[in-house]
């Protein structure tokens, strides 16, 4: 059993991590840190945990925990690690974008490795610190990595992706308020979304030149999930494309290439990503769907923890989709 701690355990990603860690057969949830909720029961914030844990929030982390997950807003992870010191044997998984860029991978003596298991499983298994990928980034990287690795990304890629309201965090804002979000849809940060940098960095790590990525992110009127469609020029046949994607993900326990079109209910509440490829007049369309809070955040964080500690990648992550 390893002892795990969660920093920032009152938001969406923190809540999902708590649920996953409580049911992980090889993990003891040691503490959940919150500056503002010290002494409160976890199930006061997350009523679905009634009867599952008697843990209360603490305002002082255990410096000797085996693994600590940072579920803090951008810019706060580094400040937290400056304030609180953990032992050299404590592994850190950061869910913000603070350490994802190659130039930001070092924090003091800690080197953070980009945590996309489908590409870097061997490196992650030897790492001490992980920069967990972003949710949009995960969906888009999984959709494009087979093409990039094969040197088949020759022309611009056009990307449209819709995310659920939980992608904006638990804090209330004008665009996450129910009365605004319900029966509504909008585009935001067109062509400039912050995840583009890590997407390009990951694709360039394949050693090929990456063309322009034209990304239009949208806010959807549903709570969770990402539905992304991407298309680019492709000279091969649909059979070759399917074989390429299937071979690339043949060892992945969570990323699957489907025969038919995909939808969000296939993946919501799971750590799975489903991909579908379609060819039309020299354009390859890739559809990528995942749960932004699980494969796009907390589930992938646990997957990375499993790799670091030598557990099977799917340990504690065999979750049921919401089919209806």
End-to-end CA distance of the chain: 36
| For residue 169, pLDDT beyond 90 | no
Q: Domains along the chain?
A: 2-132+297-309 (3.40.50.720), 135-290 (3.30.360.10)
Q: Would you state the structure tokens that stand for residue 291, as one six-digit string?
A: 């749960």
| For residue 214, pLDDT beyond 80 | yes
**DSSP line for 220-258:** -SSSS-EEEEEEEE--S-HHHHHHHHHHHTTT-SSEEE-
* pLDDT tier at 171, thresholds 50, 70, 90: low
Q: Would you state the structure tokens that stand for residue 246, as one six-digit string?
A: 């299937």
Whole-number average pLDDT of the chain: 95
**Contact predicate 242/257, CB 8 Å:** yes
Residue tagged active-site, from 17, 42, 71, 135: 135
Active site residue 135: yes
Mean per-residue pLDDT, 264-280: 98
**Contact predicate 108/304, CB 8 Å:** no
Percent of residues, the chain, with pLDDT higher than 70: 98
**Could you give the angle at the alpha carbon of 49 between the alpha carbons of 27 and 28, nearest 5°?**
15
User: What are 115-142's pLDDT values in tens digits?
Assistant: 999 999 999 999 999 999 999 999 999 9
Mean per-residue pLDDT, 15-44: 95
* pLDDT tier at 172, thresholds 50, 70, 90: low
Question: Which of 42-51, 119-128, 172-181 has the lowest average pLDDT?
Answer: 172-181
pTM: 0.95
């Amino acid at each position: 059993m390893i002892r795990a701690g969660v920093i920032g355990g009152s938001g969406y990603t923190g809540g999902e991590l708590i649920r996953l860690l409580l049911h992980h057969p090889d993990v003891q949830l040691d503490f959940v840190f919150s500056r503002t909720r010290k002494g409160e029961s976890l199930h006061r914030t997350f009523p679905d945990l009634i009867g599952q844990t008697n843990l209360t929030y603490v305002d002082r982390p255990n410096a000797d925990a085996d693994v600590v997950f940072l579920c803090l807003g951008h810019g706060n992870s580094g400040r937290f690690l400056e304030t609180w010191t953990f032992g050299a044997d404590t592994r850190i998984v950061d869910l913000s974008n603070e350490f994802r860029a190659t130039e930001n991978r070092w924090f003091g003596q800690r080197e953070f490795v980009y945590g996309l298991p489908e590409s870097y499983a061997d490196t992650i298994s030897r790492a001490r610190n992980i920069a967990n990928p972003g949710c949009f980034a995960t969906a888009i990287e999984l959709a494009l990595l087979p093409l990039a690795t094969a040197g088949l990304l020759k022309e611009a890629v056009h990307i449209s992706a819709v995310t659920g309201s939980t992608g904006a965090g638990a804090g209330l804002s004008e665009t996450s308020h129910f009365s605004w979000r319900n029966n509504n849809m909008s585009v935001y940060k067109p062509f400039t979304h912050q995840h583009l940098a890590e997407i390009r960095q990951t694709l360039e790590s394949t050693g090929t030149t990456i063309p322009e990525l034209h990304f239009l992110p949208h806010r959807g009127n549903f709570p969770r999930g990402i539905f992304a469609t991407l298309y680019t020029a492709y000279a091969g046949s649909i059979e070759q494309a399917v074989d390429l994607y299937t071979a690339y993900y043949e060892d992945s326990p969570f990323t699957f290439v489907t025969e038919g079109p995909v939808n969000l209910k296939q993946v919501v509440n799971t750590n799975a990503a489903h991909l579908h490829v379609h060819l039309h007049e020299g354009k390859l369309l890739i559809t990528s769907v995942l749960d932004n809070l699980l494969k796009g955040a907390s589930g992938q964080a646990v997957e990375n923890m499993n790799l670091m500690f030598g557990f099977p990648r799917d340990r504690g992550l065999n979750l049921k989709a919401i089919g209806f």
